[in-house]
Chain A
Amino acid sequence: MKTNDLINAIAADAKAPGMPIATTVWIGAGIGVVVTGLLFWLMLPVRPDMQAALGDWHFLMKWVFSLTLLLTGLVLAISLARPQWAPNSTLLLLLGAPIVLGIGVVADMIALPSDAWMPTMVGTAPFACLFYVPLLSGLPLALMLLALRQGAPAHPALAGAVAGIIATGIAATFYATHCQNDSPLFLAAWYIMATLIVASVGALLGARLLRW
Chain B
Amino acid sequence: MRAAIGGDSAAYHTLLQSLSNVLRPSVRRGFAQAGAPLADVEDVVQETLLALHLKRNTWDPSQPLGPWVRAIARHKLIDALRRRGRRVQIPIDSVLDTLSVAEDSSGVDRQDAERLVEGLAGRQRDVVRAVSLEGQSIREVAERLNMKEVAVRVALHRGLKTLGAQHRKDQDE
Q: Which residues of A contact B (CB under 8 A)?
A: 1-22, 24, 81-84, 150-152, 154, 211-212
A10-B49, A24-B57 given. 12 additional CB < 8 A pairs?
A1-B46, A3-B49, A6-B116, A9-B160, A10-B50, A12-B138, A12-B156, A14-B8, A83-B68, A83-B71, A212-B164, A212-B168
Report how far A150 CA is from B132 CA in the complex, Å. 25
CB–CB B137/A12 < 8 A:
yes
- B103 smallest CB distance to A (angstroms): 20
CB–CB A10/B12 < 8 A:
yes
Report how far A6 CA is from B114 CA in the complex, Å. 11
- The contact string, 1 if C-beta is below 8 Å from chain A, for chain B 31-58, is 0000000000010011001110101111
CB–CB B153/A211 < 8 A:
no
* B91 proximity list for chain A (CB < 8 A): none
CB–CB A18/B153 < 8 A:
no
Q: How many A-B residue pairs have CB under 8 A?
A: 119
Q: CB < 8 Å: which of B12, B60, B72 contacts A11? A: B12
CB–CB A81/B58 < 8 A:
yes
Known: A13-B156, A84-B70, A154-B71. A7 touches B17 (CB 8 A): yes
Taking the complex as formed, is B5 at the interface, i.e. its CB lies under 8 A from any CB of chain A?
Answer: yes
CB–CB A20/B60 < 8 A:
yes
* B114 proximity list for chain A (CB < 8 A): 1
The 4 closest A-B pairs by CB, nearest first: A18-B57, A84-B71, A5-B132, A11-B13
CB–CB B7/A14 < 8 A:
yes
* A84 proximity list for chain B (CB < 8 A): 67-68, 70-71
Report how far A1 CA is from B129 CA in the complex, Å. 9
Which of chain A's residues has its CB closest to B20's CB? A3
CB–CB B156/A9 < 8 A:
yes
